[in-house]
Structure 1
Amino acid sequence: MDSVFWSRMLTEETLAFHIIWAAIGVGVPIFISLAEFIGIQKKDVHYTMMAKRWTRGFVITVAVGVVTGTCIGVLLSLLWPTFMQLVGNVISLPLFLETFAFFFEAIFLGIYLYTWDRFKNPYWHWLTSIPVIIGSTLSAVFITTVNSFMNTPAGFKLDAAGKVIDIDPIGAMLNPATPSKVGHVVSSSYLISGLLLAGLAAFFILRGRQHIYYKKALKLTMVTTFILSITTILMGDISAKFLAEHQPAKLAAAEWHFETKEGAPLVLFGSLDPKTNEVKYAIEIPKALSILATNNPNGTVIGLDSIPKNLWPPLYIHYLFDTKVSIGFYLLFITAVFLILWMWKKGNPFHPIVLCGVVIAAPLSFIAMELGWVFAEAGRLPWIITGIMKVGEAATTAANVKLMYFLFSGLYLLLAIVACIVLYRLFKGKPAEAELKAFEGGIS
């Protein structure tokens, strides 16, 4: 196995590990701020305690996200030197801005952490959570523009010698892929963070903790994630239309759409014969792919027959796409069920079956996110920069990448173990009920 293989493996592993912590770091501040605001408005200590407890766990995820994010920056230069040599100056602005956004977030996170009960007017403390949200979200926005650039490069020209000229960093950031990718990444980060918090609340209720704190936490997070589920699905629809226009090969491979035609059907599930490209056992929805791609049931969708075979993305991305979309609709379903039962007078949103569904939704949302990123990256193959540079041309030729892979794997394993132990010990023996009792006693 050559250095290209190990470079890909290490990069994929790093991104897969980092995105878990990064997504939590982007989404949880929204729920912290929302809980504190409701607590102030309603003078409800349960919501205030939610904000305090969620903030403790959030700090740990930020720490791990910083380490893994730093690893990504280092690996870009070590593993993909030709890529950085060609476009490093083009994408340097969003990389710098991402770092600036993190420092902005970290400064206000420190202020937020150490100024609880320091203001006579509690709204002043709540206001310090807003910059944390802005900083964390902008970090995701800026780094996603780099990935967007790799899908639809813009903001530069290549001269006759293949060198980059006429660099426009803003144009590179605002490339055609940016709106759909940024929207999808941010909305899904908010969604999985909400489902993580909802899953924890549902889990504790199933374990017998019937304190009103957990039920309020579950209601807050489920209402919000219902809205975010719809938003994320809508952003997925926008992304599909973007693919049809700018990356038809990725869409065709994802849908096993081999023939360019009007009124293209949507292929769900099934299996593919790799020798004949014959699709078996699939569900076909007539004209649905044309509607998805063009908003026209008779619209023309480019098939793989119009693309040279050596530029086809791997066809296994169909399974990733179907699984991701299926999970997305499940998340919408379980949040809708909870809300319907909550609003229905005779309904019981805290029924064990519903709670189990919520608990399952939490890890499923992370799986969907991971599948989405693998789909996004594998679907661009064989390109690292679409139409300009292939993966094999960008990777290092160093012989020690395999060793680096195992060293970094050990680092990520250690980080995961330490983070889990710290989070466990942070809340061990400190249930919300006990903290609330002490908190209310302190007030009286």
Structure 2
Amino acid sequence: MELDTLELSRLLTFITLGFHIIMATVGVGIPIFFSIAELIGIKKKDPHYILLAKRWTRGYVIVVAVGVVTGTIIGLQLSLLWPSFMQATGHLISLPLFLETFAFFFEAIFLGIYLYTWDRFKPIYHWLLSIPVILGASASAFFITTVNAFMNTPRGFEVEGEGLYTNVQPLLAMFNPATPSKVAHVLTTAYLTATFILGAIAAFYILRGKAHVYYKKALHLTMIGAFVFGMATIINGDFAGKFLAAYQPEKLAAAEWHFETEDRAKLIIGGILDEEEQEVRYAINIPFALSILAHNTPFEEVIGLNEFPEELWPPLYIHYFFNLMIFIGMYLVSVAGIYLLFYYLKRFNPLQRWLLYLIVWGGPLAILSIEAGWIMTEVGRQPWILRGFMTVGEGVTTNEHVYEMLILFSILYLMLAILLPVILIRLFKNKPAEKEIENHNIIL
């Protein structure tokens, strides 16, 4: 089947963002943990935590380098693949795009100083350098997320004539109704994903017989972070549900296969949909739960999909990505909670193999959850590129060479996907933590 320009452009954008979002998520999440590890090491005079900070920073630099490549490509593709959208809204989103670039440079400058001054500053002064890195990474996520939020709830302009956007107010466009819930969810899920990846690595080494206390401390620190940010993610998910009910009811209805407007609406988990009959089979139904998610009360009405023209319905398969995102989030919180329960009650060994395996699986599952959440968000906005004002078809390029771009960039992402883990594995395999500790290669 031959794909047209629109389908090819969507596919290329999907591949690029799907790859970049992993780098961006890890890039936003890791700094807070190497900062915490270093501070604990300084306060307790514990060389293991100092080494944790050092090694996590080394890996982080590699991920950031790859993230720069894919992030630059996204900026290029916005102009090449979606020129009508950029022409219409460029003066609205240029401010957060500029600030996102500034935040990245701010982070990069202090990351370079932080990385190369371990032995040159007093420990507490060196730790202070990690704060700008955290702020820069999180600010970068904040500003780029406001662009996505604007695409979901456009504000800050008036429309005159044929798509001419006037009376532009960039700050109002940035701080639109979607911004609070989206930014909060992006940040907490980034921290959650990063800490579970780090925890999964520690658990993997322990399973392989590396019983050194270094790995146990790494696991314990990351599981505390996973539980804290997992709970924060659940709370933000609740806020996001209420935002959808108020501002994007068609997306919430599509995600829950909710066709008729009704109160006491049930939450549907799993199942198979008969679209013609609008019937769901083999699903788990939780009474009142959708009304509670949308309005905090079981007696409030939830708007159904049939209230909207069918051509404006989001693809109904987002239901599965919505379910997957929620399931993995609950899994991560539960695993971290079980570990902490075992650790602090001291009645069970928190390093039991079955629990370590669950933690190891949590790393890739956390990444999968990020992908599922992104698909739910972006596909759930369809058919709009700018909700209510411009469809995806209206924003796409007329260039006939998108196929060549798709092949070229797909090869690039494949190479990066192979090289990144190879480089990270060789980086740490040639310099194991035990050897660094034995060589006393740590400054307190």
Q: Decide: shared fold, TM above 0.5.
A: yes
Report the equivalent of 1:85: 87
Aligned amino acid, residue 37 of structure 1: L
1:71 to 70, 73, 93: 73
Q: How far off is 1:161 after superposition?
A: 3.6
Counterpart amino acid of residue 248 in structure 2 = Q
Measured in 1, the distance between the counterparts of 2:179 and 2:172 equals 11
Deviations 1:402-423 (A, max 9, x none): 1100100011111222222221
CA deviation after TM superposition for structure 1 residue 435, in Å: 0.6
Per-residue CA deviations over 1:197-242 (Å, capped at 9, x if unaligned) read: 0000000000000000000000000011101000001111100000
For residues 48-81 of structure 1, the C-alpha deviation after alignment (integer angstroms, 9 at most, x for no partner) is 0000000100000000000000000000000000
Q: Does 1:155 align with 2:156?
A: yes
Deviates more, 1:37-46 or 1:283-292: 283-292
Q: Which runs of no fewer than 5 residues in structure 2 stay unpaired?
A: none
Written as runs of structure 1 = structure 2, the 5 A alignment for 1:21-420 is 21-119=23-121, 121-420=122-421
For 1:320, the aligned partner's letter is F
| Structure 1 residue 152: Cα displacement | 0.2
Query: After superposition, what is the alpha-carbon deviation per residue over 1:280-324, rounded to whole angstroms, capped at 9, x for unaligned?
Result: 011111111111101111001100111111100010011111111
The one-letter code sitting in structure 2 at the alignment partner of 1:51 is: A
Query: How far, CA to CA, are the matches of 2:290 and 2:84 in structure 1?
Result: 37
- Structure 1: distance between partners of 2:118 and 2:374: 37
CA deviation string 1:324-382 (max 9, x = no partner) = 10111011110000000001122110000110010001100100110000010000000
Is the Cα contact below 8 Å between 2:266 and 2:290 reproduced in 1?
yes
Is the partner of 2:285 in helix, strand or coil?
Answer: strand
- Cα distance in structure 2, aligned partners of 1:410 and 1:387: 35
Is the 8 Å Cα contact of residues 119 and 443 (structure 2) preserved in structure 1?
A: no
Q: Distance in 2 between matches of 1:359 and 1:47?
A: 21
Aligned-partner Cα distance in 1 for 2:275–2:304: 17
Q: Distance in 1 between matches of 2:358 and 2:100?
A: 36
Determine if contact 2:118/2:443 at 8 Å carries over to the other structure: no
CA 443–366 in structure 1, closer or farther in 2 if over 3 Å, else same: closer
Partners in 2 of 1:102 and 1:408 — Cα distance?
23
Opposite residue 52 of structure 1, the aligned amino acid is K
In structure 2, distance between residues paired with 1:443 and 1:144: 38
Distance in 2 of aligned mates of 1:236 and 1:11: 25
Once residues 361 and 258 of structure 2 are traced to their aligned partners in structure 1, the CA distance between those partners, rounded to angstroms, is 32
Counterpart-to-counterpart distance in 2, 1:289 and 1:176: 21
- 1:429 offset after TM fit, Å? 2.8
Structure 1 unaligned blocks of 5 or more: none
Distance across 1 between alignment mates of 2:436 and 2:152: 49
Is the CA contact (8 Å cut-off) linking 2:104 and 2:137 kept in structure 1? yes
State the partner residue of 2:429: 428
CA distance in 2, matches of 1:416, 1:345: 41
* Letter paired with 1:116: W
Aligned residue for 2:273, secondary structure, equals strand
- Identical pairs, percent: 57
Aligned-pair CA distance for 1:443? 7.0
Query: Which residue matches 1:12?
Result: 14
Query: Quick one: distance in 2 between partners of 1:275 and 1:403?
Result: 38
Which amino acid in structure 2 is aligned with residue 89 of structure 1?
Answer: H
Per-residue deviation, 1:94: 0.4
**CA distance in structure 2 between the aligned counterparts of 1:137 and 1:443, rounded to whole angstroms:** 28
The alignment partner of 1:270 has SS state of strand
Q: Distance in 2 between matches of 1:24 and 1:66?
A: 13
Give the Cα separation in 2 of the matches to 1:118 and 1:429. Answer: 25
In the TM superposition, residue 162 of structure 1 has moved relative to its aligned partner by 2.7
Rounded Cα–Cα distance in structure 2 between residues aligned with 1:379 and 1:197: 31
